[in-house]
Amino acid sequence: MPTSSDIMARTGGRELKRVVYTREQIRERVEEMGREIAEAYPADEPLLILGLLKGSFIFLADLVREIARPVQVDFLIASSYGSGTVSSGEVTLLYDTGADFEGRHVLLVEDIIDSGTTLARLVPRLEARKPKSLELVTLLHKRIATLPREARWVGFDAPREFLIGYGLDHSEDYRNLPFIASL
Cα dihedral across residues 32, 168, 175, 76: positive or negative: positive
Comparing CA positions, the residue from 51, 53, 55 lying closest to residue 166 is 55
Catalytic residue among 6, 114, 157, 173: 114
Q: How far is CA 62 from CA 6, 81, 173, 181, in A?
A: 22, 24, 20, 19
What burial class does residue 43 get, using C-beta atoms within 10 Å of its C-beta: 0-12 exposed, 13-18 middle, 19+ buried? exposed
What is the spatial distance between Cα 105 and Cα 24, in angstroms, rounded to a whole number?
A: 30
Check: CB of residue 105 under 8 Å from CB of residue 45. yes
Q: Would strands 72-79 and 92-95 be described as parallel, antiparallel, or unpaired?
A: antiparallel
- Alpha-helical (H) ranges within 93-181 are 117-127
Residue 169 annotated among the catalytic residues of the structure: no
- Positions marked catalytic: 114
